[in-house]
Copies of this chain bind each other. A is one copy, B any other.
């Protein structure tokens, strides 16, 4: 398989698996013209690494687009129609280099400090395993998934649609832990989780530490997870212990979590104070802007992607409601003029999981724009357009998520 280049994943070609579009850009004068229009720095245009970094070597290489050693997404064609994303196809997005694999050698000795409760305490994973257990399916999605669709060239990893997956998490409900420690301290409005990465020397820790605050309402569904997809959580994905906040964007699911504090205010770490904030293009991040917490309703087609044979075809995709359960998905074969409700495929794994959908369709020869539009049980539907914002966060517009399929 030919490695992709960062260029091929730019805004004009968010689907790196579309060779038709690729050929328009690569190895031609047009390529460089496109690059300069996009305003990428030269570093972003280097060749994609051919091999996976060591800590992710167990992943299915051909199912992934490797953006960098810290950022890999699932190819759109590898998302498939499964209720659960196989672990070796799940995207990776690390804000800092992962700790050594040795942290998961004896997961039960990993310690997490619980603060801002009546009786603060340091607990090992072994302790947590005796306090309670739950298994929850939820969508894990990077805030910047679909960033490549933004025409202003939002900075950050140029994700197509694959910085998302549906995962089965097992761990202790956070509320069980907090109840055992006497409940949250008075005035607590946020749950602030700190990652256990080793911070590079010579930099102000506040500018790089992974420390995220979510509102205390998240406690109803949050868990401290030690298993992913029915196996011990790998260090690749945050083992021995990860804060999981079902329905919330990926960054809030803090890996290698070493501290959880109930706090009156949000942390002033950069990743919270100015990072992961929705704001207009050109505006700097600030604490008064909306933080990337609850995910919105969303869907996208996963097959077919480029070409199909005329006649009966099965249109597949995935859809989810974020913190709200999914109600339905409609599919259009004519770019959104007419819609028909698709059928969900497989068991319902709960309100935070995604649901694969399928629709049989007769496709005549020609070019078809296939789009999907999900609606949650609160009546929220995906909008048609995108809401342009500086960092390209939270894009759930159905227009960009469609695929153009040539049927012959």
Contacts and interface: CB of A to CB of B under 8 A. Distances in A.
Given A345-B135, A347-B349, A349-B347, A230 B314 contact: no
A350 interface: yes
A213 to B, nearest CB: 28
A142 interface: no
A313 B135 contact: no
Contacts of A263: none
Nearest to A79: B230
Contact of A350 (B133, B347, B350): B347
The count of identical subunits is 2
Given A135-B346, A345-B135, A347-B135, A83 B129 contact: no
A81 B347 contact: no
A80 interface: yes
A380 interface: no
Interface residues of A, number: 35
A85 interface: yes
Interface in A336-352: 345-350
Interface in A357-373: 358, 360
Given A230-B85, A230-B86, A133 B345 contact: yes
Interface in A64-115: 80-86
A345 B169 CA distance: 11
B312 A130 contact: yes
Interface of A: 80-86, 129-130, 132-137, 168, 170, 227, 229-231, 311-314, 345-350, 353, 356, 358, 360
